[in-house]
Chain A
Amino acid sequence: MQHPFQCIASVQLPGQATGEEYLAAACGPRLMLVNAGKGIVAARWSTSPTNATSEDKYDEAEAGERPAKKQKTSNAASHAPNIIKLTVSPNQQYIVAVTDDKFIHVLEIVGHGELKELSQRCMPKRPCAIQVLPDNATIICGDKFGDVYSLPLLPSEVAPIQDVEPGAEDGEAAKQEDPAFKPSATVLTVHSKRNRMALEAQMQQKNFTAKKEPLKFEHKLLLGHVSMLTDVIYATREVEGKQRGHIITADRDEHIRISRAPPQSHIIEGYCLGHTEFVSKLCLIPGTDLLVSGGGDSWLGVWDWPTFKLRRKFDIRDAVLDVVEEVAQRADMDTTEAIKQADKSVVVSGLWTAPFTNAKGKQEIALLVACERRPSLFIVPVSRLMLKKDQKTTQSRIDYPVLDVACVGDRLIVSVDGRRDGSPCLRVAQLHQAEETKGEVLSEKDEEMEAKLQCLMTSSKDIPADDKALDDLLYGVGNLRKRRGWDAPGDGAGGTEVDPTSMPMDPNHTEVVEVEDDLTVRKL
């Protein structure tokens, strides 16, 4: 079985000739840099197997009162952590990779596309989005606990450990963990058994290596939601001749928040509200004030983000159901049933923009949309996003689910989950618009480049892949959906204190996904 490429990103090396475009591709724990024009893998880098025990220890102490969870994490054998996010600095000199053991790795691209790891830093919670700011010196990183941090791209040698809070930008560090707080827990009544166990765990919390300890490096807490963050983007806008920076954050509780960029990231400018299900992806449309959002709703939000106004709900339900119907037909399945199931679960897992040449020969931009597990890429010219009534998307049918997209030169590279039958996991296409298609954007296969990218498959044949692990790695977005219509366990109980983890569950909801204390999605 072929391990698909979970993240890809285009890289432009200095002085690179046309036809010499580079692509960074993550395959499990391995990162490869390929010269897409020549079909040569220029560099490879791999995460090293972590000492899973020390990692777990941290989680244990932190999770304290939840012994059930401990057992789960310690089962995770000490294999190399997978790469879950990939981004390239605007100056194309650095690649930042996030791994599923919560580490941020900064790699420098040296010489003719070699990779040199400069640093690895452990975050307190699993990062969900990462970006290098236009200054090429700052990383912003949002995590599943709802917080957004900034850290220097290149860590300084002296390591100030103090936490710096939102707004305290002048370096006057406010303490985050008040040391005076601990004794009070013993003075005052600590009621439940759970609380007592947590206290004990806290006492034993000393013995892990400094390296694994998160945040022992320069960082600032910029802002936070009390929710799982799903996407974070940095956006600039010119006002009165000056560039204003913003941080746009999206969460599992349907919110899109617009804050000022540091040093004023404590100021919330507004919210783009209107989604009724989780938001999983944000995408700015270049050259406009439009922001597109997608998630568990069957429409994309088209926002005028400087005024926080929802301009349009762009329906994608029909487009998605068309794909579902076709897939069911091909598999000789009950199409009515398949559509019924899919109708309740549109999950937008990817939004990108890509340039194309329109029918009049002018450069335009298309929005690309991927839905989790659906074998199609939906294409909308952005000029159509605002056309009243028009909901048309062009489908680029691909026989496998789309995982990631990157623009390399004028080519579109689409990473697909072709784990099964050895067909190419990286597809290459060129977008164009023909007169006779009435504005639809079509994609045309580029077989030549596709063949060249096969070298990546050859270089990753040895990476082990099994269905369960791949599904967990590639298809997490759908789990963000809330199960509604029932009270959270332990919440409806009367005056007695009940351990919510031991509450009997409604038998109709055996697979309830609840977000617990530490905001991990857990199957009960």
Chain B
Amino acid sequence: MAGPPNKRQKREEKHEGQMPQKKFYRQRAHANPFSDHDLTYPEHPSAMRWSEHYPHFVATIPAAVPKDDPIATRDYNEYYVARMEKRVEVADIGCGFGGLLFALAPRMPATLILGLEIRTSVAEFVQDKAKALRLQQQQQPPASAGAETPPVPGGYENVSCIRANTMKFLPNFFAKAQLTKIFLCFPDPHFKARKHKARIVSATLNSEYAFVLAPGGMVYTITDVEDLHVWMVEHLAAHPSFARVAEGEAEGDECVAVMRRETEEGKKVERNGGRKFVAVFRRLEDPAWP
């Protein structure tokens, strides 16, 4: 269950393909990352049904498969998990209302991008928006027939969102070295010293980001709270699996520009004339065993 019934009702009143409205999906700002929410997550990454999120990327079973082949019959098995052509490679952790996701999707149409968000209704908003955008794209007349806006590369089929507490369950969704990019945009600051373990960047959690990231993969961070920036830089740079990317190189990365401009928080900070602190880190190869 998520959100009071009246909001839920309002949400469901909209027609298919109509853009969801944020006001029907608002939720109190802080969810406790330590508590047992009624979360759903696969017991193992291989049990995750990605087909529900990226139906366009489901691997097709060759027509010639004989009837008694297990892959033909497993369709009827409730535990059957469809095979995918692609795996998720880009994760936006704490994606909020998904501004970054929808800006990134057309820029990498062949890459699966996933937002992870702990607040139920906020995650639902992103899912509903992805569906609506996909439908809009499908219903658009081809450019040749005089469409007002050109079609978006990938048609938003490569972007989705799940409700998840990433601080606990990242390894349930992603296998070792699966990801190439992780975004940590405007994380909640958790000022109190005793809440530092609640921060999305910490010495011990960084090991989990390193685990799901392939060597050479990137962690992008941005915040308007300078102390949090200092904290994230200190903890990621001190972690032997990461090295900070020089500022010049980072500024040349298109993802950095998009992250500054397109995140909801980034826009808010812009309006208020605030500063944005960016830092990018590269996942290093693991050293040999001692």
Q: Which residues of A contact B (CB under 8 A)?
A: 62, 64, 145-147, 165-168, 174-178, 180-182, 184-185, 188, 190, 195, 198-199, 202, 221, 223-227, 239, 242, 244, 253-255, 257, 259-260, 263-264, 266-268, 270-271, 273-276, 482-488, 490-498, 500, 514-519
B194 / chain A contacts, CB cutoff of 8 Å: 62, 64, 198, 202, 518
CB of B34 within 8 A of CB of A516, answer yes
Closest 7 CB pairs of A and B: A224-B204, A185-B191, A167-B240, A165-B203, A174-B238, A226-B167, A268-B211
Residues in B252-290 with C-beta less than 8 Å from chain A? 286-287, 289-290
One of B37-45, B54-62, B100-108 contacting the partner: B37-45
Which listed residue (A168, A255, A484, A498) contacts B38, Cβ 8 A? A484
Contact partner, A486, options B27, B38, B45, Cβ 8 Å: B38
Known contacts A167-B238, A184-B191, A253-B168; A488/B32 CB under 8 A: yes
How many angstroms from the CA of A271 to the CA of B169 in the assembled complex? 11
- B23 to chain A minimum Cβ distance, whole angstroms, is 9
Which of chain B's residues have a CB closer than 8 A to the CB of A166? 203-204, 206-207, 239
Given A174-B235, A225-B204: 14 more A-B contacts, CB < 8 Å:
A165-B203, A166-B204, A177-B193, A181-B191, A224-B204, A253-B169, A273-B44, A483-B36, A484-B36, A487-B2, A488-B35, A514-B35, A514-B36, A516-B35
Give Cα distance in the complex from A52 to B231, angstroms.
35
Bound: A69/B43 CA distance, A: 34
User: Are A266 and B234 closer than 8 Å at their CB atoms?
Assistant: no
Q: When chains A and B are docked, how far (Å) is the Cα of A198 from the Cα of B289?
A: 44
Report Cα–Cα, A266/B193, bound state, in Å.
Answer: 23
**Across the interface, which residues of A come within 8 angstroms of B71, CB to CB?**
none
- Taking a contact as CB atoms under 8 Å apart, the answer to whether B28 and A64 are in contact is no
B82 interface hit (Cβ, 8 Å): no
B residues contacting A by CB (< 8 A) are: 1-4, 7, 26-38, 43-45, 119-120, 167-169, 171-172, 176, 189, 191-198, 202-208, 210-211, 225-227, 230-231, 234-235, 238-241, 286-287, 289-290
A519: chain B residues at CB < 8 Å are: 34
The answer to whether A254 and B34 have CB atoms under 8 Å apart is no
A167, A180, A270: which has the most chain B beta carbons within 10 Å?
Answer: A167
A483 CA to B38 CA, complexed, in Å: 9
Complex: A463 Cα to B21 Cα, angstroms: 65
- Are the C-beta atoms of A494 and B3 separated by less than 8 Å? yes
Q: Which residues of B contact A180 (CB under 8 A)?
A: 227, 230
Given contacts A182-B193, A184-B191, A497-B29, A485 and B38 within 8 Å (CB-CB): yes
A186 to chain B, nearest CB (A): 9
A494–B28 CB distance below 8 A: yes
Q: Which residues of B contact A184 (CB under 8 A)?
A: 189, 191, 225-227
A492 touches B120 (CB 8 A): yes
Q: Is the CB of A226 within 8 A of B33?
A: yes
Cβ A223 vs Cβ B204 within 8 A: yes
| Structural contact, B192 and A488, CB atoms closer than 8 A | no
- The verdict on A202 contacting B192 (CB below 8 Å), with A223-B204, A268-B208, A487-B37 known, is yes
